[in-house]
Amino acid sequence: MRYNRFSKAMTYGLAGAMALGLGVGGTAFAGETEASAPASDVTLEFQQWWGVELPDGALDEICKGFTDKTGIKIETLSNPYADTKTQIAAGAAAGTMADVVGLDGSWVYDFAKQGAIANLSDLMKADSYDDSQLSDQIKYEGSTYMIPVVNFAYPLYYNKDILDKAGVTEVPSTWTEFLDACQKIKDNTDAAGYCIPLNTEAPNGIQNQFSSWVWASGGSLLKDGKPSLTDNETLTKVTELFKTMYDKGYLSSGVEAMKEQDMVNEFENGRLAFMVDGISHLTTITKESPDINFDYAKMPVMDGFTGKSGMDVANWGIGIAENCEHKTEAMQFVEYLMSPEINAKLAQLANAFPGNSNAKPDYSSNDERFQKAYEFFNEGYAINEFTGAPTAEDLMRSFNEQLVLFLDGDTSSSADALSAIQGEWQSVYGS
């Protein structure tokens, strides 16, 4: 008897919970995207971090232009960079990636290897798309998997007021001048000379604030696509340059725990004289700290170097998910974003350089400092050796760890540090 009453109650309870669950899951809670669309009207999901960084609503407007033209709807899923990465990585493994995805050059190798992103070479061929207008294509085993939509250069920012206060009259153009300027800044101001964010959560400091010095002096981390860190004169000298800066106290305190945001924060607050950072931050820095009097300069080069300088670039790349059911339409969208007119507009909005070589962005309304950076960019060449590299983030992380050990004095020489990194990198490239 008692048992019966109990089991009855249990049954009702469970049934109730399940009904609640099903009702809730089936109707009220279901995502709007789950609504079954008629085959004729296709909706593509476009997952990226660009929407967060562009002016409000700008990306949606560009996508609307595509819908007006083709009838294909675009749903933008915009999240910050790190979140987008997590979602895409999880989506790659579970097959839930959005149809069209924003990619960073450093992810391409891994997602292409996993078979999570589609071969764009095939799609372009099927569409007989003229790819000669693309300024670059990121490949894996000979086929294109990512197309850079816009590129961001990483010039040297400097704070004019700090330099004035320190008595630095000329913007340094060589390492000696740079170290000299740092010494004056240290003696005469409270500010730090330079900064490299070395937090291991996001080890991009190695790419943007370290390797940029190597590339600017015509150096390289790779040779024939393989790691070449030992017996590499430029790299050795840059590594020692950082050790000098660290030992003499030119770097911001606590660089080991800093993230890129912290570095920008230091600069915005007038506590940092020089930094290497994306031009994309131009607008935010101007907006957040209107009082900071800053400008761009060319990267200082190794004394005696007269060749062309490489300038670090990062890009907003685009790719198509392998699990996308409307690849033809997705390719149409990619082609739309790469069309000269739209690409130019996107580049102009993002303070970036276009990925279509025929695009002619009208930068006249952009900050004049931006145009200065554009000139530097045109004088040198674009380079980023981490783009398309295998497990690029991990390469940067192992470099980061060895660099910190060297700066802290745990590794006795730059040669030891670099050969340790070489060993770790080789194990990645070797496999």
User: d(Cα 359, Cα 356) in Å, to the nearest integer?
Assistant: 5
Q: Does 93 bind another protein (CB under 8 A)?
A: yes
Show the tokens assigned to 341. 């007119």
Spatial neighbors of 322 by CB under 8 A, at least 6 apart, are 97, 115, 116, 117, 118
Between 279 and 359, name the residue whose CB sits nearer to another protein: 279
Q: Strand, helix or coil at 125?
A: helix
Q: Strand, helix or coil at 16?
A: helix
Show the tokens assigned to 409. 């004095």
Between 28 and 364, name the residue whose CB sits nearer to another protein: 28
How far CA 245 is from CA of 92, 181, 183, 251, 255, in Å, comes to 41, 11, 9, 6, 12
Smallest distance, another protein to C-beta of residue 379, A: 26
User: d(Cα 247, Cα 166) in Å, to the nearest integer?
Assistant: 20
Between 160 and 220, name the residue whose CB sits nearer to another protein: 160
Dihedrals φ, ψ of 324, to 5°?
-70, 135
Smallest distance, another protein to C-beta of residue 425, A: 13
Q: Does 104 bind another protein (CB under 8 A)?
A: no
Q: Does 141 bind another protein (CB under 8 A)?
A: no
CB atoms within 10 A of CB 129: 17
Between 175 and 386, name the residue whose CB sits nearer to another protein: 386
Q: Does 7 bind another protein (CB under 8 A)?
A: yes
Smallest distance, another protein to C-beta of residue 323, A: 10
Between 47 and 387, name the residue whose CB sits nearer to another protein: 47
Between 71 and 95, name the residue whose CB sits nearer to another protein: 95
Interface residue with another protein, options 5, 68, 128, 170 (CB under 8 A) = 5
Stretch that binds another protein, among 88-96, 329-337, 381-389, 414-422 (CB under 8 A): 88-96
Applying the rule CB under 8 A, the residues between 195 and 214 that interact with another protein are 198-203
Between 230 and 289, name the residue whose CB sits nearer to another protein: 289
Smallest distance, another protein to C-beta of residue 236, A: 21
Q: Does 13 bind another protein (CB under 8 A)?
A: yes
Q: Does 271 bind another protein (CB under 8 A)?
A: yes
Runs of H (alpha helix) within 251-367: 260-268, 281-288, 327-338, 340-350
Show the tokens assigned to 302. 């190794």
Interface residue with another protein, options 15, 90, 167, 378 (CB under 8 A) = 90
Q: Does 6 bind another protein (CB under 8 A)?
A: yes
Size of the site for another protein (CB under 8 A): 80
DSSP state of 203: T
Q: How far apart are the first and last CA of the chain?
A: 68
Q: Does 139 bind another protein (CB under 8 A)?
A: no
Q: Does 55 bind another protein (CB under 8 A)?
A: no
Applying the rule CB under 8 A, the residues between 224 and 263 that interact with another protein are 252-258, 260-262
Show the tokens assigned to 294. 């800053």
Smallest distance, another protein to C-beta of residue 169, A: 27
Helices 327-338 and 58-70, interaxial angle, to 10°? 120
Applying the rule CB under 8 A, the residues between 23 and 52 that interact with another protein are 24-25, 29-34, 45, 47, 49, 52
Show the tokens assigned to 308. 């062309």
Q: Strand, helix or coil at 316?
A: strand
